[in-house]
Amino acid sequence: MESPSALALLRDVFGYPAFRGAQADIIDHVSRGGDALVLMPTGGGKSLCYQIPALLRPGCAVVVSPLIALMQDQVDALTQLGVKAAVLNSTLAWQEAQAVEQAIFSGNLDLVYIAPERLLLDRTLAMLDALSEAGKLALFAIDEAHCVSQWGHDFRPEYLQLSTLHERYPAVPRIALTATADKATQSEMLVRLGLSDARVFLSSFDRPNIRYTVVEKDNAKKQLLGFLTGRKGQAGIVYCLSRKKVEETANWLSLEGYPALPYHAGLPAAERAANQRRFLREEGLIMCATIAFGMGIDKPDVRFVAHLDLPKSIEAYYQETGRAGRDGEPSEAWMAYGMQDVALQHARIAESGAGEGQKILESQRLTALLAYCEAPRCRRQVLLNYFGEERQPCGNCDVCENPPELWDGTQAAQKALSAIFRTGMRFGVTHLTDVLRGKATDKIKQWNHDQLPTFGVGADLDDHGWKSVFRQLAAAGLVHVDMAEHGALQLTDAAREVLKGQRKVQLRRPAKRKSGSSSRSSSAVVHSELSSADEILFQLLRKWRADTAREQSVPAYVILHDKTLRELAEVRPTSHGMLAGITGMGSAKIEHYGAELLDLIRNEG
């Protein structure tokens, strides 16, 4: 009997009508035994790139994942599709682990998810040796492959040993996957995972369904509350830099009527796991978290990601915002930032144990993020340019919606840089602004800065305007923020050209501060409008899904995605054949839920 084709599996098992982007090429390459490095944005369908080859090739596929807490959800999702999958990790009792190993040997599993620490145990390697000799190893999939990068915030030391797979099982294809990696991280993955001969598949990093907004910090809590107006009942993530701020923000949001949970590395493991589980399984929760949370979070209906503090790089920002809108529905990435954030990130770089070369690279990455925040052009253009892509303005970001006014800021820049120089490069933005605006404060008198030629030369701009100038000078690489000197601004070599009049500086006018949120934010439109009758059916389908998920103790999205429920509400299928035409309705789902869904739709109709 002829084995099913990749497209037949996609349609029958997974319920999708066609492959997207490079999926078909990747699947064909790996199915034929080739190695691959796949860089594809979150929500782009990376998992299919190894799941379908696992079903096409003989034997069991081994998926290496660093996320023990999430493996079971991934396996539950596959089981719903009729795919034979299991986990092999430290959460299993020895009898359970033995049963999984037996199922692998007897050919009763298509995929096994395993943590890198478990994979590298002698017992596991001995099992893989036996499978390899018997021709029962389909492939190795290395998920979240950027964990091999020693200077990334997701670094896992065990990933450095995964080159063993190539040395030990040269005939077994390997596919390494990640949602984000700049050029330096891409090179690191190829070298450290022994993938020098692998074919690299680089998809567009664009996430057109995400709307990007950056605001200048001015009472960040109030600004966040304005952004959340109209978003009650939506799932979201709020990132903060410190553990203390995570807990304070979660408590405050809950008091404001937005149920929120904290997540950071300092919480007891049981509490962390419980909060993560609740976020994945309940609807409408907000997770307040440090960067410890997020990698591999497969919740498709996260409608927004908000940053109350500046991330450390564009790569980190892209990865964190990419947790929104995995279902392809319109979603928001919102961030508030100020100079204090810049100072804190520079301090973290300075205090890290990295070598001088790595510190320079991290500083360059931070400067690229500042340039993104302050750029007067389309956010998406700046973001994608960083990853080597060219794009037309997107029309789906705050800059495209309200293009900033630009002005020749050369003279203002010279005044600001001169104030930094004449005060000895020892003071922060507030003091420098007071000098420029001619405020004779006690501190200014103490340092005799009221005697400087720059004292009072900046009366044409208010405090808000000068803060904007200083931020833009930092973003342009003309000023460095030194946390060792308590946030003092210092001139870089590039500042000389501006001070000598050899370089022009164009600045954007600071946005006018608004008391509330924008009309766009308040309306919080997240998907195409359903008719009132279809909306009623959609909500009934969501209730059915929630009840079904509760009975089975799985996250709601494992049963069906919102996108599938919305399509069911609009199309209102009347037969099993029509259900097969709905996105996400594979044969196993139709077999499990078809009759219930048709009854529910018929009774409502």
Look at residue 393 and give its three-state secondary structure. Answer: coil
Residues of the chain with CATH 1.10.10.10: 406-508
Assess whether pLDDT exceeds 70 at residue 125.
yes
CATH code reported for the domain at 406-508:
1.10.10.10
Helices (H), 375-479: 379-386, 398-401, 410-422, 429-437, 442-446, 463-475
Q: Give the per-residue pLDDT at 72.
A: 86
Q: Give the per-residue pLDDT at 522.
A: 36
d(CA 364, CA 347): 14
Q: Give the per-residue pLDDT at 367.
A: 82
**Regarding predicted confidence, which is higher, 585 or 341?**
585
Q: Give the per-residue pLDDT at 346.
A: 78
Question: Cα separations (Å) of 2 from 14, 19, 56, 378?
Answer: 20, 21, 11, 51
Q: Give the per-residue pLDDT at 471.
A: 83
- Report the DSSP beta bridge partners of residue 467: none
Q: Which of 428, 434, 307 is nearest to 372 (CA)?
A: 307
User: How confident is the model over 505-529, as pLDDT tens digits?
Assistant: 988 887 665 544 443 443 344 445 7
Assess whether pLDDT exceeds 80 at residue 182.
no
pLDDT band at 375 (very low <50, low <70, confident <90, very high): confident
Residue showing tokens 């069911």? 568
Residues of the chain with CATH 3.40.50.300: 6-202, 210-401
Assess whether pLDDT exceeds 80 at residue 273.
yes
Assess whether pLDDT exceeds 80 at residue 108.
yes
Residues of the chain with CATH 1.10.150.80: 532-604
Q: Which of 92, 87, 90 is nearest to 64 (CA)?
A: 87
For 6-202, the fitting CATH number among 3.60.130.10, 3.50.50.60, 3.30.9.10, 3.40.50.300 is 3.40.50.300
Residue showing tokens 């099992």? 127
Assess whether pLDDT exceeds 60 at residue 35.
yes
**What value does the mean pLDDT take over residues 84-89?**
93
Whole-prediction pTM = 0.77
Compute the 3-state secondary structure of the chain and give helix, strand, coil in percent, each to the nearest 5: 50, 15, 40
**Regarding predicted confidence, which is higher, 357 or 582?**
582
User: How confident is the model over 414-424, as pLDDT tens digits?
Assistant: 999 999 999 99
Assess whether pLDDT exceeds 90 at residue 263.
yes
Residue showing tokens 């701009």? 461
**What value does the mean pLDDT take over residues 258-277?**
92
Q: Give the per-residue pLDDT at 511.
A: 64
Q: Which CATH architecture has domain 210-401?
A: 3-Layer(aba) Sandwich (3.40)
Per-residue tokens: 463: 């405090």
Q: Give the per-residue pLDDT at 488.
A: 83
pLDDT band at 152 (very low <50, low <70, confident <90, very high): low
User: How confident is the model over 219-232, as pLDDT tens digits?
Assistant: 999 999 999 998 98
Parallel/antiparallel/unpaired status of strands 60-64 and 111-114: parallel
Within 10 angstroms of residue 550's Cβ, the number of other Cβ atoms is 12
User: How confident is the model over 352-362, as pLDDT tens digits?
Assistant: 877 888 887 78
d(CA 50, CA 56): 10
- DSSP state string for 317-376: HHHHHTTS-TTSS-EEEEEEE-HHHHHHHHHHHHHSS--HHHHHHHHHHHHHHHHHHH-S
Per-residue tokens: 81: 């599709």
CATH code reported for the domain at 532-604:
1.10.150.80
**Regarding predicted confidence, which is higher, 27 or 185?**
27
d(CA 98, CA 85): 15
Assess whether pLDDT exceeds 70 at residue 431.
yes
Angle at which helix 122-133 crosses helix 94-105, to 10 degrees, equals 20
Hey, which of 175-179, 235-239, 404-408, 425-429 has the most confident mean pLDDT?
A: 235-239
Q: Which of 183, 194, 188 is nearest to 151 (CA)?
A: 188
Q: Give the per-residue pLDDT at 313.
A: 86
Strand ranges (E), 75-193: 85-88, 111-114, 137-142, 174-178
Mean pLDDT of the chain: 88
- C-beta of residue 514 within 8 angstroms of C-beta of residue 225: no
Assess whether pLDDT exceeds 90 at residue 302.
yes
Q: Give the per-residue pLDDT at 335.
A: 96
pLDDT band at 476 (very low <50, low <70, confident <90, very high): confident
**What does the CA dihedral 83, 88, 92, 96 come to, rounded to 10 degrees?**
70
- C-beta of residue 394 within 8 angstroms of C-beta of residue 400: yes
pLDDT band at 485 (very low <50, low <70, confident <90, very high): low
